[in-house]
A = this chain, B = another copy of it.
Amino acid sequence: MKLCLLIHCPDRSGIIRSVTTFIHQQKGNIVYLDQHVDKQAGVFFMRLESEFEDTVDLADFKESFGREVALDRDMEWAVHTDGHIPCMAIFVSKYNHCLFDLLSRYRAGELKVHIPFVLGNHKELEGVAEQFGIPFFHVPVQGRDRQDVDRDLFALLRPHKVDFIVLARYMQIISPALIDDYPNKIINIHHSFLPAFVGARPYHAAFERGVKIIGATSHYVTDQLDAGPIIAQDVTPVSHAHSIADFIAKGRDLERFVLSRAVQLHVARKTMVYNNRTVIFT
């Protein structure tokens, strides 16, 4: 059995020793440990994987860890077993490239998740979901009250016990209610190298500015538009010879790749968020 422990707390002496000693006492063998200290903020972060020959009583483990290690240190922490496969909903609009990519990886076994449904504010991508055998739900947004939309969303998310949401070019504002329910659990792909070109039509803006490199950014959604903690970014060179249509075509490859990388990192529990920035463990 394998446990993954994620920790952050005020940086003080002796944390690594305390945690590793605890794991040792529980008869665990540490197979991965990475830590980071944000010196400016004075915060310590750690990700630790350990193997146990016998099954661990998770409730016992949590109770002991909380009492013996975490309490005194004002620690925020979570522990995950390798048995749990997270449940991931995908929200889309009309662009299909990120959806094709995510579902292909899912079918190919590259993404260790359950996908209970794809949800679209339009019906255009119903066929793509069906092709991969995934239920598709249509929840229109235009012209409706946000509360009505949210009711529809929650009516799908809750019964399916969705753990996190991927916005695969969903292009809609997410309500504070939904963000509150899924803190650092909604992953968006923005088609620019943030913070350049926030908002709508970033490829047009990039073309207008005459940049020589374009990018894509995947981030957790917060209540600030395109300003949430960045998980992954990538770029590709462009030149004067490229039209806006070329930017968009090149951007599709970036978006696919960056979004799937962010999802992989999230699923592997290699992301932590603090002060609107991420710690990404390797």
Report which A residues bind B (CB closer than 8 A).
13-14, 16-17, 20-21, 23-24, 29-39, 96-97, 100-101, 104, 107-108, 110, 128, 131-132, 193-197, 209-213, 215, 229-235, 239-241, 243, 249, 252-253, 257, 276-280, 282
- Cβ-neighbour of A36 out of B97, B110, B240, B249 (below 8 A): B240
Does A243 contact B24, Cβ atoms closer than 8 Å? no
Report the bound CA distance from A63 to B276 in whole Å.
45
Does B229 contact A213, Cβ atoms closer than 8 Å? no
Point out the residues of chain B lying under 8 angstroms from A100, CB to CB: 100, 104, 107-108
Copies of the protein in its oligomer: 4
Nearest B residue to A232 via CB reads B212
Does B210 contact A233, Cβ atoms closer than 8 Å? no
Does B240 contact A211, Cβ atoms closer than 8 Å? no
Point out the residues of chain B lying under 8 angstroms from A21, CB to CB: 17, 21
Point out the residues of chain B lying under 8 angstroms from A33, CB to CB: 16, 33, 35
Does A280 contact B235, Cβ atoms closer than 8 Å? no
Nearest B residue to A14 via CB reads B24
Does A195 contact B197, Cβ atoms closer than 8 Å? yes
Q: Is the interface of A mostly helix, strand, loop or mixed?
A: mixed
Nearest B residue to A17 via CB reads B20
29 contacts between A and B (CB under 8 A): A14-B29, A17-B17, A17-B20, A17-B21, A17-B23, A31-B37, A32-B35, A36-B240, A96-B108, A97-B104, A100-B100, A100-B108, A104-B104, A131-B132, A193-B213, A194-B209, A195-B197, A195-B209, A195-B211, A209-B277, A210-B229, A210-B276, A212-B280, A213-B233, A213-B235, A239-B280, A239-B282, A240-B277, A241-B282
